[in-house]
């Protein structure tokens, strides 16, 4: 299925209809008028009886707004229309049967949001020269101008390589000044070949922002646990790719081959030094706080940790305008890795200086390839396709230039584009409806915390306080940034002459913007949530939960939808985010004061519950990586349902969707499940979530109300005899 075009969502392009769902079927209007008449005339004996009768007979109304019609079309297209599709035996197939060949609804919505952003970008051409809007438009246009990018070819990249001191493979080269090249890579190209450095909240309270140094990211999965055969094939593909890059840059094939092999050797040695987080946790050292001085002592006699690198000058250049000194504290996530890495670098510098230089440049070319001509992009895409094939992952969707350009323009010009996007998709009515939904979910969680058998009184009180004190941001911050400020944001972006130069200028400006943001007291910079993205974000340091405008959209949320849909889809998403805040209570030793026996029992119950399902897909599935997400899934459904039921007590006459023949509660469960619709095989091996079918069946079968509303006989898959309550 192609992604949803705005055609399918007639309400999508303009502000959604405000107000409550169309629950007020004609019947309710009559009831209300009658009530008014009764109050006017004073109570007479007959009318209250009539009123009660009338209220009782008010059935659910059907929502017929454009938003509901679009949702209905979606629901009908997704669910299995076969008469024999049995909700009690396989609700996943019932809800998602026909949608399986398609991408998941999150991906489809993400693309839909980018389509809207594209629409906005394409209208910005007539803006005042020099304004943020005009610059964003020019950047987007030069990204879309593939003829110019092709004509420039590898020229702009060769220039970059010369700026870095060149390499032995092609062109002029000078012997490596290691610290200079590394500093340039980090500060000018946002590229970190040996480690990663970024700004983030300190891992312990009060979570002040701090520079963090972590393991690097690699171009290809150099996984140690991989099967030997797959590993060898991966490396062959990667070598072929590096060879291709080298020849595209005019290198002699034999020389390229030698340097490419050495680059792979350096990367795979680095990978050997990595220790997974779980192992570092088990050793009680998930991170360490050191001064820059300790990493790289000024006097050589003291104990040095990672002396190969000129940390102060590299970090200072990267995080300008912050001002760093050698006593600056930094958080290091894997100190042993840094020590080994430093030794490897020193060793290479002594014996294979020019190979180290080539390695740094090879990996840079990889990260820059989205801004290069079609030959580089094609090489990258083919590599990624082959690697996915080897690990039996489905191919990525076809390359679309506009999508890539919208993403890049969005990243660099976010301060300008955010208010434009929000104005289009997130009206004040949508915001307040989303806020109302969140409040209902939050209240249900607070009520639920009271009933958890494994939680002790003090932990309960603390958890409840944390929920009540939590701040939530729906969509963008309320105060729009000053228009003058938005213009200033881009004084440092220089467009042209080549697209690569514009791109790099955008990279540098964004990096400086983030560093400047960290120097300001206003904490918005810590909520790094893309407004058109779909990831909610919890900021530990500020105790703020942020939901981006892009997430609270059809088909998950619309102020005009029946409440069952909003609670089932967006409500369960919100509840899951809330529960994640408390996940660490479930980890071993996470809640020493709790009744550990009862907690252990509930965890084992959940594990047994999930293990009882037939294993999905071909690969054997190991549930021990997913129990935290499973717990959040089960808890989120229970909380969303509790919140919805409470709403039902207060308001009757729930709206549904026409032609689906589902009661409001049934619609709630269908909406919950359809959030999860996706191909069974799209499970990534490192995914901490269960496969989609389990994310539907696990929580639904833990919820007795599901079996009741779908009339599932005892003993069917979705009505087991045992239920667990963790949350």
Q: Which of 172, 224, 468, 600 binds ligand NAG (CB under 6 A)?
A: 172
* C-alpha span between 324 and 698 (Å, rounded): 50
Name the minimum Å distance from CB 152 to ligand NAG: 15
Q: Which of 73, 85, 271, 470 binds ligand NAG (CB under 6 A)?
A: 85
Per CB under 6 A, 175 contacts ligand NAG: no
* C-alpha span between 405 and 370 (Å, rounded): 9
Name the minimum Å distance from CB 150 to ligand NAG: 21
* C-alpha span between 529 and 533 (Å, rounded): 7
Nearer to ligand NAG, 131 or 313 (CB): 313
Nearer to ligand NAG, 40 or 298 (CB): 298
Nearer to ligand NAG, 158 or 646 (CB): 158
Neighbours of 441 (CB within 10 A): 25
- C-alpha separations of 2 from 108, 442, 668 in Å: 8, 36, 26
Q: Which range touches ligand NAG (CB under 6 A), out of 76-84, 480-488, 492-500, 657-665?
A: 76-84
Nearer to ligand NAG, 162 or 407 (CB): 162
Question: Which residues, 472 to 531, sit near ligand NAG by CB under 6 A?
Answer: none
Q: Which of 318, 178, 336, 350 is nearest to 270 (CA)?
A: 336
Q: Are 70 and 554 in contact (CB under 8 A)?
A: yes
Structure tokens at 212: 């963090």
Sign of torsion over alpha carbons 378, 381, 385, 386 = positive
Per CB under 6 A, 171 contacts ligand NAG: yes
Per CB under 6 A, 607 contacts ligand NAG: no
Name the minimum Å distance from CB 290 to ligand NAG: 16
Structure tokens at 158: 């060769």
Q: Which range touches ligand NAG (CB under 6 A), out of 7-15, 81-89, 691-699, 711-719?
A: 81-89
Per CB under 6 A, 307 contacts ligand NAG: yes
Q: Could you confirm whether 64 is annotated as catalytic?
A: no
Q: Are 716 and 88 in contact (CB under 8 A)?
A: yes
Per CB under 6 A, 327 contacts ligand NAG: no
Nearer to ligand NAG, 170 or 377 (CB): 170
Name the minimum Å distance from CB 413 to ligand NAG: 33
Q: Which range touches ligand NAG (CB under 6 A), out of 307-315, 509-517, 526-534, 597-605?
A: 307-315
Nearer to ligand NAG, 52 or 76 (CB): 76
Q: Mask: binding to ligand NAG, 95-114, rule CB under 6 A, as x and -?
A: --xx----------------
- C-alpha separations of 64 from 9, 69, 509, 554, 560 in Å: 13, 6, 48, 15, 10
Nearer to ligand NAG, 80 or 243 (CB): 80
Q: Which range touches ligand NAG (CB under 6 A), out of 172-180, 336-344, 497-505, 659-667?
A: 172-180
Q: Could you confirm whether 255 is annotated as catalytic?
A: no
Q: Which of 91, 137, 139, 178 binds ligand NAG (CB under 6 A)?
A: 178
H-helix segments, 217-331:
228-248, 253-273, 277-282, 292-295, 311-318
Q: Are 388 and 396 in contact (CB under 8 A)?
A: yes
H-helix segments, 391-498:
401-412, 414-425, 428-449, 457-469, 483-488
Q: Which range touches ligand NAG (CB under 6 A), out of 83-91, 211-219, 434-442, 516-524?
A: 83-91
Per CB under 6 A, 82 contacts ligand NAG: yes
Question: Which residues, 342 to 381, sit near ligand NAG by CB under 6 A?
Answer: 349
Neighbours of 351 (CB within 10 A): 9
What number of chain residues touch ligand NAG (CB under 6 A)? 19
Q: Are 333 and 213 in contact (CB under 8 A)?
A: yes
Per CB under 6 A, 84 contacts ligand NAG: yes
Residues forming a β-bridge with 209: 201
Q: Which range touches ligand NAG (CB under 6 A), out of 34-42, 58-66, 93-101, 688-696?
A: 93-101
Q: Which of 93, 212, 572, 702 binds ligand NAG (CB under 6 A)?
A: 93
Q: Which range touches ligand NAG (CB under 6 A), out of 115-123, 170-178, 195-203, 700-708?
A: 170-178
Per CB under 6 A, 7 contacts ligand NAG: no
Q: Which of 44, 174, 622, 721 binds ligand NAG (CB under 6 A)?
A: 622
Nearer to ligand NAG, 280 or 473 (CB): 280
Label the pairing between strands 329-332 and 209-214: parallel
**Three-state secondary-structure class, residue 572:** helix
Q: Are 683 and 675 in contact (CB under 8 A)?
A: no
Name the minimum Å distance from CB 312 to ligand NAG: 8
The catalytic residue among 408, 418, 629, 633 is 633
* C-alpha span between 641 and 702 (Å, rounded): 12
Structure tokens at 429: 């009515």
Nearer to ligand NAG, 394 or 428 (CB): 394
Name the minimum Å distance from CB 273 to ligand NAG: 19
The catalytic residue among 577, 629, 630, 654 is 577
Nearer to ligand NAG, 347 or 436 (CB): 347
Structure tokens at 409: 């323009």
Per CB under 6 A, 294 contacts ligand NAG: no
* C-alpha span between 628 and 580 (Å, rounded): 8
SS3 per residue for 589-658:
CCCCCCCHHHHHHHHHHHHHHHHCCCCCCCCCCCHHHCHHHHHHHHHHHHHHHHHHHHHHHHCCCCCECC
Strand ordering across the sheet containing 209-214: 196-201, 209-214, 329-332, 288-291
Catalytic residues: 577, 633
Binding positions for ligand NAG, rule: CB under 6 A = 80, 82, 84-86, 93, 97-98, 171-172, 178-179, 296, 307-308, 310, 349, 622, 624
């Amino acid at each position: 299925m192609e992604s949803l075009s705005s055609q399918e969502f007639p309400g999508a392009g303009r502000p959604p209809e405000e107000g409550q769902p169309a629950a007020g079927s004609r019947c309710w209007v009559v009831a209300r008028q009658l009530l008014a008449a009764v109050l006017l005339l004073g109570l007479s004996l007959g009318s209250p009886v009539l009123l009660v009768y009338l209220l009782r007979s008010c059935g659910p109304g059907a929502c017929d707004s454009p938003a509901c019609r679009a949702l209905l079309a979606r629901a009908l297209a997704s669910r299995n229309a076969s008469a024999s599709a049995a909700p009690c035996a396989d609700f996943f197939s019932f809800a998602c049967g026909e949608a399986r060949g398609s991408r998941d609804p999150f991906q489809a919505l993400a693309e839909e949001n980018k389509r809207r952003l594209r629409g906005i970008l394409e209208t910005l051409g007539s803006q005042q020269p020099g304004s943020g809007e005009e610059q964003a438009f020019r950047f987007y246009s030069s990204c879309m101008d593939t003829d110019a990018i092709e004509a420039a070819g590898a020229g702009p990249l060769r220039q970059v390589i010369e700026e870095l001191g060149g390499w032995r493979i092609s062109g002029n080269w000078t012997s490596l000044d290691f610290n200079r090249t590394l500093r340039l890579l980090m500060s000018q190209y946002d590229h970190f070949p040996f480690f990663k450095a970024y700004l983030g909240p300190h891992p312990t309270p009060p979570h002040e922002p701090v520079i963090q140094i972590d393991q690097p990211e690699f171009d290809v999965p150099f996984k140690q646990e991989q099967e030997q055969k797959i590993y060898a094939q991966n490396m062959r593909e990667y070598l072929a790719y590096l060879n291709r890059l080298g020849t595209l840059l005019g290198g002699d094939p034999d020389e390229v081959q030698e340097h490419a092999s050495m680059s792979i050797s350096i990367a795979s040695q680095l990978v050997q030094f990595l220790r997974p987080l779980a192992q570092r946790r088990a050793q009680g050292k998930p991170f360490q706080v050191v001064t820059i001085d300790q990493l790289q002592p000024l006097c050589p006699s003291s104990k040095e940790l990672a002396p190969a690198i000129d940390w102060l000058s590299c970090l200072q250049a990267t995080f300008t305008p912050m001002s760093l000194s050698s006593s600056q504290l930094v958080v290091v996530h894997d100190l042993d890795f840094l020590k080994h890495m430093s030794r490897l670098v020193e060793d290479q510098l002594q014996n294979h200086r020019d190979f180290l230089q080539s390695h740094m440049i090879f990996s840079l070319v990889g990260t820059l390839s989205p801004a290069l001509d079609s030959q580089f992009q094609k090489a990258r895409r083919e590599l990624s396709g082959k690697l996915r094939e080897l690990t039996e992952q489905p191919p990525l969707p076809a390359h679309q230039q506009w999508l890539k350009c919208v993403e890049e323009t969005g990243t660099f010009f976010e301060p300008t584009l955010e208010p434009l996007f929000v104005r289009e998709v997130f009206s004040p009515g949508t915001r307040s409806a989303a806020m109302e939904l969140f409040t209902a979910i939050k209240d249900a969680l607070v009520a639920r915390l009271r009933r958890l058998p494994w939680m002790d009184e003090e932990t309960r009180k603390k958890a409840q306080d944390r929920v009540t004190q939590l701040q939530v941001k729906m969509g963008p911050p309320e105060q729009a940034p000053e228009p003058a400020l938005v213009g200033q944001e881009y004084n440092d972006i220089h467009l042209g002459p080549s697209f690569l130069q514009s791109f790099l200028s955008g990279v540098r400006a964004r990096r400086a913007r983030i560093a400047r943001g960290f120097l300001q007291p206003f904490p918005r910079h810590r909520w790094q949530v893309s407004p058109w993205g779909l990831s909610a974000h919890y900021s530990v340091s500020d105790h703020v939960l942020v939901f981006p405008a892009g997430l609270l959209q059809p088909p998950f949320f619309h102020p005009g939808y029946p409440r069952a849909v909003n609670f089932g889809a967006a409500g369960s998403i919100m509840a899951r985010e809330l529960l994640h805040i408390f996940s660490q209570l479930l980890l071993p030793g996470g809640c020493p004061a709790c009744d550990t026996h009862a907690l252990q029992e509930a965890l084992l119950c959940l594990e047994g519950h999930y293990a009882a399902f037939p294993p999905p897909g071909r690969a054997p599935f190991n549930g021990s990586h997913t129990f935290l997400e499973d717990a959040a899934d089960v808890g989120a459904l229970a909380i969303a349902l509790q919140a919805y039921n409470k709403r039902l007590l207060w308001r009757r006459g729930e709206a549904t969707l026409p032609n689906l023949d589902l009661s409001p509660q049934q619609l709630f469960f269908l909406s919950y499940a359809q959030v999860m619709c996706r191909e069974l095989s799209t499970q990534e091996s490192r995914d901490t979530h269960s496969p989609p079918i389990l994310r539907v069946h696990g929580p639904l079968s833990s919820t007795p109300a599901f079996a009741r509303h779908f009339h599932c006989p005892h003993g069917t898959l979705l009505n087991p005899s045992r239920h667990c309550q963790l949350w």
